[in-house]
Amino acid sequence: MKFNFGFQKGLFFLGIFSLFTACGSDSSSGADINDSGISSSADSPLWESSSSTDAPISSADAVSSSSELFVHQKGFSPCQFNFGAGWQAAHEDSAFYDGLDYISVWLGDNDYFNSFEERMFDMTRVVHATPMIYAYVIAEFGKDHGLDDCDVKDSQNLCTDGAELMRQYFQDSILYRYRQYAAGFREHIEIFYPEQNPDTIQFIWLIEPDYYQYSESGSNQKMAFDSIEQRNGGIPDAQMGLYFAQIVDTIRAYLPGSKIAIDISPWIADVTEEPDKMANWYANFDLSKVDFASTSGGRTAAANERIRSSNKATWAGVAQLLQRPILADAGYDAGGYGTGYNKAWGVVENLNARIADGVIGVTQMDPDSLYHVRATIARNQLNAIPWCAE
């Protein structure tokens, strides 16, 4: 199967790359004013529609696929738009996740594989969903050493001491946690699912949200923005690419079927005098190891061509640059606090516009009990993935 990226925005851009061997699967900055619709099950209609006040800024007009509908497959597939939910201790019943394409979990706050991840994986087997991992190991290891997220505390945070932490502990502690988690998943599969092959089970790993903040470029950009920088300087960008490759290789040593997503920091594109800054950043990475690009932070814009309305990076621009489809997320805010079901990511017009821009999935981190019903209704009205051709 191949993906043909054909975004018709004045200039036809074409890129093709191989991603999956088949379409099937076994398995920082500010709140977004235009996309902040939050709702609970008590007052949320099953169907969301746009109005004249929140009509999406869209590139969908340029894509003629409205007559083609998805044929839904259980589990994540790059040939359909995928709906995912965050794994929550408050919702460990199969009815909450049944019908969703993947279940995500944030990983890294322990130095060992534990029962929380076990239960998430077990649920994916029950509802035939794909396990998705937000690999937040560096940040969680930093929190163990007294460092908060950059948008939580102004001093002694991951933007001041995260790079130094990586320099000191990357090989013996950070990679160790990756080994422990990947090996733990594999052992769990071998013991409790002997009929399944851990070499071929597809996980999706979203590697290190806000990874850019530890880099030399990230530190310099933040210093220019708000006079905060990494102690002893950020890690050279090229070295960050090598660290990323080591993380991926560690995961795939235990779970070879894993798919990898590289993080998007939309603010990279905000430096007007450096129009190639985002391209230069991603040039440090071996993109042959990467299958997707992914957002983090939960404040992404469903109704805007920009990933976040306050930043310059666009969905289509990143997809074109990386030649990879994008996985979006919603429903949480600074510090990871849940903000409920994000209605804007349930509006079909918005979803079709983002499909045209290269987005193939969204994680609602804090949905309500009707989310899977809304997803089922929406699927019947979504455009086919225009660049997915077997």
132 is a domain residue: yes
When pLDDT is averaged across residues 125-147 and rounded to a whole number, the result is: 96
Domain harbouring 153, CATH code: 3.20.20
359 is a domain residue: yes
pLDDT tier at 241, thresholds 50, 70, 90: very high
% of the chain surpassing 90 pLDDT: 69
43 is a domain residue: no
pLDDT for the residue 109? 86
95 is a domain residue: yes
In terms of average pLDDT, the best of 64-78, 108-122, 168-182 is 168-182
pLDDT tier at 72, thresholds 50, 70, 90: confident
Q: Decide if pLDDT at 45 tops 80.
A: no
pLDDT for the residue 81? 96
pLDDT for the residue 30? 34
Q: Decide if pLDDT at 141 tops 60.
A: yes
When pLDDT is averaged across residues 268-272 and rounded to a whole number, the result is: 91
When pLDDT is averaged across residues 192-208 and rounded to a whole number, the result is: 98
pLDDT for the residue 212? 97
- Which residues constitute the domain of residue 116? 82-380
When pLDDT is averaged across residues 217-237 and rounded to a whole number, the result is: 94
283 is a domain residue: yes
Residues 338-365: pLDDT tens digits?
Answer: 778 999 999 999 999 999 999 999 999 9
Residues 93-104: pLDDT tens digits?
Answer: 999 999 999 999
SS3 for the chain, per residue? CEEECCEECCCEECCEEECCCCCCCCCCCCCCHHHCCEECCCCCCCCECCCCCCCCCCCHHHCCCCCCECCCCCCCCCCCCEEEEECECCECCHHHHCCCCEEEEEECCCCCCCHHHHHHHHHHHHHCCEEEEEECHHHHHHHHCCCECCCCCCCCEHHHHHHHHHHHHHHHHHHHHHHHHHHHHHHHHHHHCCCCCCCCCCCEEEECCCHHHHEHHHHHHHHHHHCCCCCCCCECHHHHHHHHHHHHHHHHHHCCCCEEEEECCHHHHHCCCCCCHHHHHHCCCCHHHCCEEECCCCECCCCCCECCCCCCCEHHHHHHHHCCCEEEEECECHHHCECCEEHHHHEHHHHHHHHHHCEEEEEECCCCCCHHHHHHHHHCCCECCCCEEC
Of 54 and 312, more confident: 312
% of the chain surpassing 70 pLDDT: 80
74 is a domain residue: no
Judged by average pLDDT, the poorest of 66-75, 225-234, 319-328 is: 66-75
When pLDDT is averaged across residues 158-164 and rounded to a whole number, the result is: 96
Tally the domains of the chain: 1
pLDDT for the residue 150? 87
pLDDT for the residue 55? 34
Residues 279-299: pLDDT tens digits?
Answer: 999 999 999 999 999 999 878
259 is a domain residue: yes
pLDDT tier at 29, thresholds 50, 70, 90: very low
244 is a domain residue: yes
